[in-house]
């Protein structure tokens, strides 16, 4: 039986990563686990599939040494999420729920000082796009070399992508419409529309 909430496309993966780039990067293998929230940018195949994630982290972060040793990690992206009350559904005999979207990505990680500039430029370009005067690291080039010594870039090659997108697909038409009309979280309702295109 197909899990409706685990059905998604490469475009959905890309949209979630682009809109919610701050992810938990969690070490695998040795315990205790090391983890850090890091902004990550996706790299994609010609067909749209996620190929890799690019990022950077502090050299003193305990996760850095762990990633160098193990070379593997699990990356957790959290997308839109919100409590859905019976008030939103318009029914008192309807149980509350939580709409959410997330990704769990397994990766092989290469930590490499040679990737640092590329990782920073990739992140900055993605975050500054659309601004009147996009910022670049040229603005701090007079002190960038010293700052860069404290961080290091990495590329995480994707080996598996799992996700869960619980966004009203199982709701009856009346309840679904009530939630869209009454819920105050515009991001959640936007993603509900994305995952219910025929409604």
* Strand ranges in the chain using DSSP code E only, listed in sequence order: 22-27, 35-39, 41-44, 50-58, 72-84, 97-112, 151-166
Average the pLDDT over 63-83 and give the result.
97
- Burial call 172-181: b when 16+ CB within 10 Å, e when fewer: eeebbebbbe
Percent of the chain, pLDDT > 90?
91
pLDDT digits (tens, 9 = 90+) for 129-185: 999 999 998 889 889 888 889 999 999 999 999 999 999 999 999 999 999 999 999
Percent of the chain, pLDDT > 70?
99
Q: How confident is the model at residue 1 (pLDDT cuts 50, 70, 90)?
A: low
Of 3-12, 34-43, 135-144, which range is least confident? Answer: 135-144
Q: Give the pLDDT of residue 133.
A: 93
Domains of the chain as residue ranges with CATH = 4-194 (2.30.110.10)
pTM of the model: 0.94
Average pLDDT for the chain: 96
Average the pLDDT over 93-102 and give the result.
97
Q: Give the pLDDT of residue 192.
A: 98
CA distance 50 to 158: 7
Helical H segments across 37-185, by residue range: 62-70, 86-89, 116-128, 141-148, 173-182
């Amino acid at each position: 039986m197909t899990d409706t909430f685990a059905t998604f496309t490469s475009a959905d993966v890309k949209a979630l990563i682009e809109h919610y780039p701050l992810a938990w990067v969690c070490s695998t293998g040795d315990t205790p686990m090391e983890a850090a929230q890091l902004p990550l940018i996706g790299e994609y195949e010609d067909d749209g599939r996620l190929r890799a994630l690019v990022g950077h982290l502090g050299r003193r972060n305990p996760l850095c040494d762990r990633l160098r040793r193990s070379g593997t990690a699990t990356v957790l992206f959290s997308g839109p999420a919100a409590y859905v009350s019976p008030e939103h559904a318009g029914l008192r005999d309807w149980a509350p729920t939580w709409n959410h979207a997330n990704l769990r990505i397994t990766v092989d990680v290469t930590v490499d000082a040679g990737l640092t500039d590329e990782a920073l430029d990739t992140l900055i370009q993605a975050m500054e796009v659309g601004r009147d005067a996009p910022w670049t690291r040229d603005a701090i080039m007079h002190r960038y070399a010293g700052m860069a010594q404290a961080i290091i870039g990495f590329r995480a090659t994707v080996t598996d992508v799992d996700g869960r997108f619980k966004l009203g697909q199982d709701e009856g038409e009346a309840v679904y419409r009530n939630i869209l009309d009454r819920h105050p979280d515009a991001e959640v309702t936007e993603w509900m529309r994305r995952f219910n295109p025929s409604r």
